[in-house]
């Protein structure tokens, strides 16, 4: 892409990485002999997420832009509003039905159900796919492309997705 622009969003959300098991899998070799690691992320917890979306184009519009930042913001606004202050949970998580019931019974839990374990990596792809679908829906996908999505979970940990 000759030109790229980025827009940053902030939202608060909880999640649970129900598949986490630090005793095996890619990278477990680094902690062998250090005792049994605590799988903290299987617990319900939350983050102050920072989402950066980067879109690009090889041409500029008649207004000399890739796309106005205002339009990028509006493409994601409803999704950001929906996920903000929610609990993101995989429908396959063993706790899903119970948390859905608690949310229904007490009305104090906003559930945002997804079809994947809500890791930072999977969420970055989720936002990427969502924005790409929005561009396609409006007939802009050929002119404008989603370059990448970066999702910061903490000040020191982020995931990036690009196709």
Longest dimension (CA), the chain: 61
Q: Is the pLDDT of residue 33 over 80?
A: no
What are the residue numbers of the active site? 41, 85, 153
Q: What is the CATH number of domain 3-161?
A: 3.30.479.10
Q: What is the pLDDT of residues 126-162, one digit of tens each?
A: 999 999 999 999 999 999 999 999 999 999 999 999 9
Mean pLDDT of the chain, nearest integer: 95
What strand order describes the sheet that includes 3-15?
Answer: 111-114, 86-90, 3-15, 45-57, 145-154, 157-161
Q: Is the pLDDT of residue 23 over 90?
A: no
How high is the pLDDT of residue 25? 85
How high is the pLDDT of residue 28? 86
* Residue 57, both tokens: 């184009």
Considering only CA atoms, which of 93, 116, 65 is closest in space to residue 129? Answer: 116
Label residue 6 by pLDDT band (50, 70, 90): very high
Q: What is the pLDDT of residues 76-104, one digit of tens each?
A: 999 999 999 999 999 999 999 999 999 99
How high is the pLDDT of residue 38? 82
Q: What is the pTM of this model?
A: 0.95
Label residue 29 by pLDDT band (50, 70, 90): confident
Average pLDDT over residues 15-20: 96
Q: Report the percent of the chain where pLDDT is more than 90.
A: 87
Label residue 35 by pLDDT band (50, 70, 90): confident
Distance CA 142, CA 34 (A): 51
């Amino acid at each position: 892409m000759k030109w790229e622009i980025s827009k940053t969003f902030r939202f608060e959300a909880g999640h649970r990485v129900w598949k986490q098991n630090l005793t095996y899998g890619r990278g477990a070799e680094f902690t062998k002999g250090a005792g049994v690691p605590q799988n903290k992320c299987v617990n319900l917890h939350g983050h102050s997420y920072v989402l950066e979306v980067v879109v690009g184009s090889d041409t500029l519009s008649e207004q000399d832009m890739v796309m106005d930042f205002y339009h990028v913001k509006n493409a994601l606004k409803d999704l950001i509003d929906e996920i903000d202050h929610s609990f993101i949970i995989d429908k396959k998580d063993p706790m899903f039905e119970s948390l859905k019931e608690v949310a229904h019974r007490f009305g104090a839990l906003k559930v945002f159900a997804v079809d994947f374990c809500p890791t930072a990596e999977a969420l970055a792809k989720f936002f990427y796919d969502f924005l790409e679908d929005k561009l396609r829906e409006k007939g802009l996908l050929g002119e404008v492309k989603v370059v990448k999505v970066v999702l910061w979970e903490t000040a020191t940990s982020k995931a990036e997705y690009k196709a």
